[in-house]
Structure 1
Amino acid sequence: MSPKHLFCAAVLCLGFESLGAFAQNVAQNTAPAATPPAAPAAVRTPEPAAEPAQPAQPVASPAAEASPAAVPSAASGATAAPSAAKPAIAPMTGPVRNVVLVHGAFVDGSSWNGVVAKLQQKGYRVSSVQNPLTSLADDVAATRRVLARQEGPTMLVGHSWGGVVITEAGANAPNVAGLVYIAAIAPDLHESTMDLLKRGAPAPAGQSIVKDASGFLWLDRARYHADFAADVPENLTRVLSAAQVPIAAKAFGETVSQVAWKEKPSWYVVTTKDRAVSPDVERFMAERMGAKIVPMASSHLAPVSHAGAIADVIDRAARELSRHQ
């Protein structure tokens, strides 16, 4: 091949190589332009309906309010899906208008009927827990389910064994504004009902309690009136004794792992004619917790025999707390 032909071939080769490089550069420079919608999608403003709203129902988990999992994602603009384990608790603002009542052993929620009626007349939203009385954990769970339904500040009230329940259930509960104990057991950390009852002389009602083959305790019907509700009409105590709910004997030995009265304002009604829990033990517990003490000349079943007076104590406590909101 002549030098002239070799020169022409070289020029043609260089031209093809330049054309290939040019095509490659064009493809690289134009590829990003094929996907421009991606950027606007990443910064799209969320629809107003996706903004977090006040929950329609209050929540069950006391820890939920502080949980990051309950907070909507700022990047996505979407509200986190409700969680059964960690929903948000209703904020504790405004006056105390909710009352949750927790009964004790040998009765059920109907023992609060007179108190419920009086509080409703005063404008409160009242709920009465039905404790299964099968264990401390079961009763605390039942109480927390009711607390979860309260919107706004709530007074948590316990009678007798119910005091143990509210001591545990009321701890770390943001919607519980205060506690009211009615002739109730108020244990300290790792303390049980039996630990406290041993602080006083044996109560007469203790001799009326019998244990069945299933490990549940019953109050002898023949002594129900004298030892449990001496100031309640006998025709009513016959009905109460017939409908009594037994309590698992093991419950009286179970200890609390949280103590609500150490973090919440407390009131205590000492029933001075009590034959089920020693008035001296009641006063000891009330003074230890720093509660405001209200003596009442009543049998152990004060929510029945003195329903109006008990409702007044709860009302005064709620009003006092409301003034500090």
Structure 2
Amino acid sequence: MSAPGSDREAGAFLRHGGRLAAARGAFPDAPAPWLDLSTGINPRPYPARRADPAALRRLPDPEEVAALEAAAAAAFGVSPDRVAATPGTEAALRALPRVLGARSAAIVSPTYGGHAEAWRLAGARVSHGPWDEARHSAAEAVVLVNPNNPDGAQVRGPDVSDRWLIVDEAFVETVPELSVAPRLFSSPVTTGEGGGRRAGRTVVLRSFGKFYGLPGVRLGFVIAEPGLAGRIGAQFGDWPVSAEAIAAGLAAYTDDAWRERTRLRLARDAARLDALLGANGFEVLGGTSLFRLAAAPDAGRRFEALARRGVLTRPFPDQPTWLRFGLPKPKDWPRLKAALEGSRR
């Protein structure tokens, strides 16, 4: 794929989405404001209340964090003693290699590159491959993003033999029935399919910012056996999340009606985006209802053509025919349509 601007700028686009500063530098003549479709973030965020000013003038109380974890646990369908709040899923996945102590990890790929990077930085041997290959590998830990980013691939009831299984469910709010957490962690004493041994070797990661459209809040969760959840949570000290994260999470996780309405709306918008991409020369390969993965033989040229029109998408270093598109805001559909039509020329 041809890359815009300097190698440093191109690397920013290829690493992950949301690099608007690099886009502005590489395409200074693009119309503003930019339409950032490079991430899988809900473009219509939850209308979360802000933290009380008094809460910003003190450190969060442990009871407030516990209340947040209980609200999240209820939304996840798990026992509160299995949940630990973290300052974002990214921070949690970076801590896992250190806490688990595994010396090798099999990453179900292609997927989000932060997992492999975290394990490599911890000195672990890292391998990549499809689910069937990873689950039968000799690695001490298997990492699965479910549903996967960027292709939306799903694994129903993932299981491995007596090794660590890390399931990153950052996008599972769009398909809640896919989550392994309720099956393994729904009560203080693990029962049913999977049993205590499997639960004891499984860690589930959940994200707040993507589905609720508030990534700047920096809120995530780990779900695991109580002792392990506590060890992971302890990596972030006595105040793992901010007053703003507590306020937003408490409101959002108790709003069942908003969650259900949003799932339906996202599904409709994803179908609309599929139709628009298909009408403009892209083949939709998959994704979730928060993002769509599409292919075109000239994806590199079209990335640049869209960027010149102020529309940022997500290219991939090892897949030059791929682009990932997030959902636009309601007012931005006409602009996206015009940009896609113009990029064909």
Q: TM-score, normalised by structure 2?
A: 0.22
- Tell me: higher relative CO, structure 1 or 2? Use CA pairs within 8 A at least 6 residues apart: 2
